[in-house]
Structure 1
Amino acid sequence: MPRLVDHEQRRRQITDAVRRVIVGGGLEKVTFQTVAVEAGISVRLVQYYFGTKKDFLLATHRSVMEDAGARFAQRWTALGAEATPRKAIHAVLTELLPLDDQRREEIIVLGAFDWAAIAGQRGNTEETFFAPEALATIIADQLRRAQPDDLPSPGDPDRDAEVIAMATGGLAHSILQGFSTEQAAIGLVDHLLDLVLGAQGGRVDSTQH
């Protein structure tokens, strides 16, 4: 009796291979041939599941976003409704830093797609910049929770959130480039939150990432 093929598993095998090719050499190294070799299957099989290079690149981008989103949702749920705004924002930001192999791979792959979109090579800017906008919205919502109504200078949660989101992206890339260590980047996240939130909620245990 012939073995049944799990098509979703096969597609995932291919998109995982695309990720590894990107991490190893960038988007320019991605071809049907390199992906097939990395996945350990034939070029014809890659073409069977993805008719064009654009198809498997879009599927790879989607798989990275889904993986990161699922992990983020799990972390967010684990925080619980009683988490302070500072703890919630800290958890969100550290999920975006390359503190393990999975997050490192995701940041490299998504960064490759971002630069390709900026250069006009592929993708569209709406898809590329949706995640930072969503991140800033989440942070802004938490900043609003942290601000007393009677604060004389409440600041601007939306602009503060944009600064925090952009700064965290820079910290992530600084770790990848070897400019900053993981602990130094986490320390800068704490410093940034000190500037925006003061000492409210206290610092988060830096070992829980």
Structure 2
Amino acid sequence: MNIPIKTDSGGIAMLKKIILSAIIASLIPVATFAAPAAYLEKSNIVGADNRIRIYRVPTKDLSGKVNYYDVLVTLSVTDNGMINTASSTVAATASPTFFANTFVPGAYKDAAGDYSCNASVAILSAGRMQTALSCYSGGGQMSATWISGGIAGHPFELDLRSAGIDKIPGYENFSWGKIGTYNSSTWFGCMNNSEIVSAVQIGNSIQMSGYDFGNLQKCGVTLMKQ
């Protein structure tokens, strides 16, 4: 025998609210977050004696926000030559804010694989980053260096102003520098000794452009990180 359940109007309203809430909750996906992480492969690591300096280590927190830190690892060594993990230290400070974009050190190649390059970075004062590029192709080799930041106070300020680089709209979005030593006539289509170049990091590639001694782009190359 079925016995009817008597529910007043207030009880019915409450029951409807509970059912509606359960339905809505079932339709909302559960938010998932990646675990916090650090990416040493995108930093610049310099070791000497018992110290390891790691510049601009990207970290990602639980919400996905990226921060950058400079890390100093000091190793303590016991009398028998073992690393004393108990007294070794790790110190981290927030990296300075840089002008324009930053560069990822490491090995690079062009799309055809004809040029093998290595990029290294150094932290300068006033929020600037210097990138040194060394490339090899067959028996030839070339070096270039560029520095981030505005033209005012740039180490190559006189050369950049003379070439009219400051007349290029959006020039500040790129790092600017010069070709250094080389033992072959031309690199990447137009780049010769002491000529002006620009560079920008896009993901895992460096887009490098040659300007001769003016402010019109003459050639360029994309170098991809290996």
Structure of larger gyration radius: 2
Q: What is the TM-score of this pair, normalised by structure 1?
A: 0.29
Highest RCO, 1 vs 2 (Cα 8 Å, sep ≥ 6)? 1
Q: What is the TM-score of this pair, normalised by structure 2?
A: 0.27
